[in-house]
Amino acid sequence: GDVAVLVPAAGAGVRLGPGGPKALRLLGGEPLLVHAVRRVAAAPSVRTIVVAAPPSEVAAVRHLLASVAAVTVVAGGAERQESVALALAAVPAGPEIILVHDAARALAPPELFESVAAAVRAGRPAVIPVLPVVDTVKEVDAGGVVLGTVDRSALRAVQTPQGFQRAVLAAAHAGAAGALTDDAGLVEKQGIPVTCVDGHEHALKITRPFDLAVATLLLPS
């Protein structure tokens, strides 16, 4: 394998409601992070996995993942971007393709890691999995009055894993200012082209209790 996968998993999971850090919340009896790492490790191209855990849970996460895959666990930061930077710093020399994958997208299938990595391997500096936007989207003002309707056909909803040539991701994080919700956003700001590949419905982000309920229905029986 020529791929390292960074798994930011240090978030609190505030929108999921009370119950501890989201990555450790249970889905079908297993923590979200276990589901995520199992699928990452099943992708044949993956050589290295680095998880950014909640700082108070580093030892617990190491223990939890010991039977799942060979992983390096580091303490994450206060913002997602910081967690990614800390995980990136722990990648050994070797892998030239880096994927960044949210633990919250716990059911992203191994094939998705392969398709994103393949596009980077084919020469794309940055690659994101996307789905078409199905809802009509409107821009509104602060009072909730519609300003206009956005052309939906030009919009895409973005998932993870996002893939990068190693030097591209390193440069993006080195020059990073402000917190964005994804890594490709940092790369865009550097003027580097970001390419879309087909996303996967099972890569949905588990954000609210509704999403956890949906994910339960997607578990293999």
By CB under 5 A, name the binding residues for Mg ion: 11
Q: What is the Rg, in whole angstroms, of the alpha carbon atoms belonging to the chain? A: 17
- Please give the residue whose beta carbon sits closest to ligand CTP in the complex: 11
> Which partner in Mg ion, ligand CTP, none is near 205 (CB below 5 to 8 A by kind)?
ligand CTP
Looking at 5, 10, 119, 120, which residue binds ligand CTP (CB under 6 A)? 10
Query: Helix, strand, or coil here: 38?
Result: helix
Q: Which stretch binds ligand CTP (CB under 6 A): 10-18, 42-50, 61-69, 120-128?
A: 10-18
Q: Where are the alpha helices (DSSP H) in 75-208?
A: 80-88, 110-121, 166-174, 183-189
Least distance to ligand CTP, CB of residue 131, Å = 17
Upper half-sphere CA count for residue 73 (Cβ side, 13 Å): 23
Q: Does 183 bind ligand CTP (CB under 6 A)?
A: no
Decide: is 46 part of the binding site for ligand CTP (CB under 6 A): no
Cβ-based neighbour number of residue 129 at 10 Å: 25
Quick one: which of 98, 82, 89, 99 has its CA closest to 178? 82
Draw the binding track, 118-147, toward ligand CTP (x: CB under 6 A; -: no contact): ------------------------------
Residues 136, 87 contacting (CB under 8 angstroms): no
**Count of residues engaged in binding ligand CTP, rule: CB under 6 A:** 22
Q: What is the spatial distance between Cα 99 and Cα 6, in angstroms, rounded to a whole number? A: 6
Q: Does 110 bind ligand CTP (CB under 6 A)?
A: no
In angstroms, give the least distance from the CB of 17 to ligand CTP: 9
